[in-house]
Amino acid sequence: MPRPPAVPLAWANLAHDKVRFALFTAGIGFAVVLMGVQLGIMNAMLDSNTVLLRRTNADLVLVNPARKSLLFREGVNRRRADLARQVEGVRSVEPLYVDYHLGMLRHTADDPNERTQTRRVRVVGVDPDAGLLNLPGATAADWERLRVPGTALYDRKSRPHPDQARHPGETVFGALADGVQTELAGRDVTLVGNGFELGFDFGTDGTLVVSDRTFAGWIRAPYTAPGTDPLAEIDLACVRLDPGASAADVQQRLRELFATGGDVDVLTRSQMIDREKWFWWTNTPIGFAFGAGVVLGFVVGLVICYQILSSDIADHVAEYATLKAIGYPNRYLSSVVLQEALILAAMGYVPGILVALATYAGLTRLTGLPMELTFPRAGLILGLTVAMCVGSAWLAVGKVKKVDPADVF
């Protein structure tokens, strides 16, 4: 009868005491949760600030090179967008207008004359017939109604009112529903439809979508010189390609077209999203605060894992000395410690990532931030966990190498 395979020494060292092994696993899992939650909050902040870009039906984007974020006002001249329409492979170029307005929106649930405190709302202007935005919840009938000047689609996931006891279900802009008469930039607007889902972000509390005609008259006209076109400057010119056209080829043609002017940058939608994230990462506290949290979680896990491996080596010093006395080299003993580290990484990662997922769900419900654990992000956390445990093993193997059989026997 063949003998069963031997239990690996590293597993036997860790698992012989089940309670202690569970505590070891919990310690590594705690570090995984700490890193995962910090990383999740950071990515939620970055994702929330790019959700509008991700909802655009565009293959390429024309943007002013000086505009480092949607928060700024530098635009692309409409004539440049007209030139782009003539390039081979371009099916359409649709303008998207964005403005960030400190608006006074009325409460309607209690008193039509009561106003909320000033809140920052993002106003997006588009051609209702262009199909430029993919907004969950917005129907074809809603876009049809948006053609009427002075109407707006509203974000039902705007930031909730801080006093939900007195204003249940309301946002910081008041009660948002179909037919609500509200105020924007000193002009009356009517909300239409049942609302779309976009969500608030680091810079705004909600979003209104209006037609380009309403945007010109309500938002841009008061700040435009008489006799000039309020829509002469486009915030983002969204390029859609002909079926089968290569995005890389069209992008190169457009860059060659605008090379001399230096006033238009041609990006893919993913490049535009990355640039927006980079701005928020490098120019706001998001990157530092939550990046430091991830580093802190890594250091905490490194210390925990080192203490676990050190204590395990101390408990089995006689066994390590015996292996050394019968001829096993330091390389073998070091490999045992490394295997223990990898076992701890695997056993701690699974419960840790499950707890992190539950925390994501709870924080999403509580804050409204879109906390998502994608495969690349889960892979990053796994990589950090493995690196953390392997680093601890590298620090702990010195104790094994110093074991002297003569001192034990």
- Long-range contacts: 6-13, Cβ < 8 Å, 24+? 8/339, 9/336, 9/339, 10/336, 10/337, 10/339, 10/340, 10/343, 11/339, 11/343, 13/312, 13/316, 13/336, 13/340
More confident residue, 63 or 261: 63
Q: Cα dihedral sign for 157, 161, 162, 164?
A: negative
- Between 67-71, 72-76, 221-225, the lowest mean confidence (pLDDT) is in 221-225
Lowest mean pLDDT among 70-74, 263-267, 318-322, 380-384: 318-322
Other Cβ atoms less than 10 A from the Cβ of 15: the count is 16
Grouping H, G, I as helix, E, B as strand and the rest as coil, residue 100 is strand
Q: What is the mean pLDDT of the chain?
A: 88
- Report pLDDT for 225: 76
Average pLDDT over residues 252-260: 93
In this prediction, residue 114 carries a pLDDT of 54
* pTM for this entry: 0.82
| Token couple for 90 | 């371009």
Burial class of residue 198 in the structure, from the number of CB atoms within 10 Å of its CB (0-12 exposed, 13-18 middle, 19+ buried): buried
Lowest model confidence (mean pLDDT) among 88-92, 219-223, 230-234, 256-260: 219-223
What is the distance between the alpha carbons of residues 129 and 211, in angstroms, rounded to a whole number?
A: 9
Q: How far apart, in Å, are the Cα atoms of 63 and each of 212, 239, 258, 271, 273?
A: 18, 11, 11, 11, 12
Name beta bridge partners: 350: none
DSSP 190-239: EE-SS-B-----SS-SEEEEEEHHHIIIIIIGGGS-TTS-TTSEESEEEE
Query: Which residue matches tokens 């009427």?
Result: 148
- Number of H-type helices and E-type strands within the chain: 13, 11
Q: How far apart are CA 373 and CA 85, in angstroms?
A: 39
Start-to-end CA span in the chain (Å): 37
Percent of the chain with pLDDT over 70: 93
DSSP secondary structure code for residue 167 in this structure: S
Judged against a pLDDT cut of 80, whether residue 297 lies above it is answered with: yes
pLDDT digits (tens, 9 = 90+) for 117-169: 567 899 999 999 999 999 999 999 999 999 999 999 999 988 887 777 777 87
Q: What are the C-alpha distances in Å from 71 to residues 108, 186, 199, 321?
A: 29, 21, 16, 65
